[in-house]
Amino acid sequence: MDQSLQSRVELLGSQIKGLCERLAAAGYVFQYPDEVFPGPEADAVRAITRIEREAGEVPLALKLFWLHVGSVNLCGAHPAWGGCEYPDPLVVYPPSVALADLDDFREEPEGSFLVPIAPDDFHKADVSGGMYYNVSVPAVGDDPPLNDERHDVSFLTYLEIALASAGFPGLEHCNGHTWPVDLLRAQAS
């Protein structure tokens, strides 16, 4: 196992946990409170094993994230923060979501299995949008490209970009927004 990759995932997990705590303390209202930062799913190993048996190797970074961090869902709002219609809150689905898509893939297996990582920025705002963010299985690398996300970066680099934007990378396109990104980001250091 790549210890540097595991350390990077664990650090990102710690930073995400801290960000979730700071958002809650600032009065941010999470849309799905039980999904904010629940930790790893009890059946994560079983889910990964099934995906690998039926579709191919799960990328190491995603496997480590699911096993050590779990999932995250920052969808929600703050009553005093505005100026951005699509802030693209950080979401990483748990492995059980991938299992639901795996059954559809098995019926018509064409190309790679696309593991759902998160809804696109429009769906996160309850607006019909495009393809969900995803990674390809079988793995194309330890830290795979995050497909269908506008930054065109790897999965872990996307998490770093999201954290640099206080969990909301869509804010980079919203000039004049009132979200306290600098304060939340400074506290994350």
Query: What are the extents of the domains in the chain?
Result: 3-188
Q: How confident is the model at residue 130 (pLDDT cuts 50, 70, 90)?
A: confident
What's the fold here for domain 3-188? SMI1/KNR4-like (3.40.1580)
Q: How confident is the model at residue 189 (pLDDT cuts 50, 70, 90)?
A: very low
Contacts (Cβ under 8 Å, ≥6 apart) of 180 = 26, 81, 166
Alpha-carbon distance 51 to 70, whole Å?
Answer: 16
Task: Give phi and psi for 76, each to the nearest 5.
Answer: 155, -155
Across-strand partners of 154? Answer: 145
Instruction: Measure Cα distances from 65 to 12, 75, 99, 175, 186 in Å.
Output: 9, 19, 16, 32, 24
Residue 188 above 70 pLDDT? no
Alpha-carbon distance 148 to 133, whole Å?
Answer: 5
Alpha-carbon distance 136 to 158, whole Å?
Answer: 15
pLDDT at 187: 55
